[in-house]
Amino acid sequence: EADIYQTPRYLVIGTGKKITLECSQTMGHDKMYWYQQDPGMELHLIHYSYGVNSTEKGDLSSESTVSRIRTEHFPLTLESARPSHTSQYLCASRTGFTDTQYFGPGTRLTVL
């Protein structure tokens, strides 16, 4: 398995809370991604980064924000969680020299 980590793995919170989903990789990859995946459904890209200080929005509109201050770290933040944010969030990374994206184990978020 690839060296890409996500914490927490599971999170249940109440509406209106601010949360940060952590993603870290130890492979030195410059490109990182956040995908949202509803149960039994395909993945949709919500954010990506080409490298430090680079962040872009993906195909699926999301109220979340991301930052990339360090190469290995790409956290995702929700300022005020809502039940519509309930989903699984997958982080991925890759180097510019390969086409393979390596995925983290995911964070399953439930907002009550």
Partner 1 sequence: AQTVTQSQPEMSVQEAETVTLSCTYDTSESDYYLFWYKQPPSRQMILVIRQEAYKQQNATENRFSVNFQKAAKSFSLKISDSQLGDAAMYFCAYRSLFTGGGNKLTFGTGTQLKVEL
Tell whether residue 34 is a contact of partner 1 (CB under 8 A).
no
CB of 14 to partner 1, least distance (A): 24
Q: Of residues 45-104, which lie at the interface with partner 1 (CB under 8 A)?
A: 45, 48-50, 56, 58-59, 90, 99-104
Q: In whole angstroms, give the CA distance from residue 11 to residue 8.
A: 6
Q: Is there a contact between 112 and 14 (Cβ–Cβ < 8 Å)? A: yes
- What pairs with residue 12 in β-bridges? 110
Q: Name the one residue in this structure whose structure tokens are 């190469």.
A: 71
- Residue 56: other Cβ atoms inside 10 A: 10
CB of 103 to partner 1, least distance (A): 4
In the complex with partner 1, the residue whose CB is nearer, 2 or 11, is 2
Which residues are near partner 1 by CB under 8 A?
A: 1-2, 31, 33, 40-45, 48-50, 56, 58-59, 90, 99-106
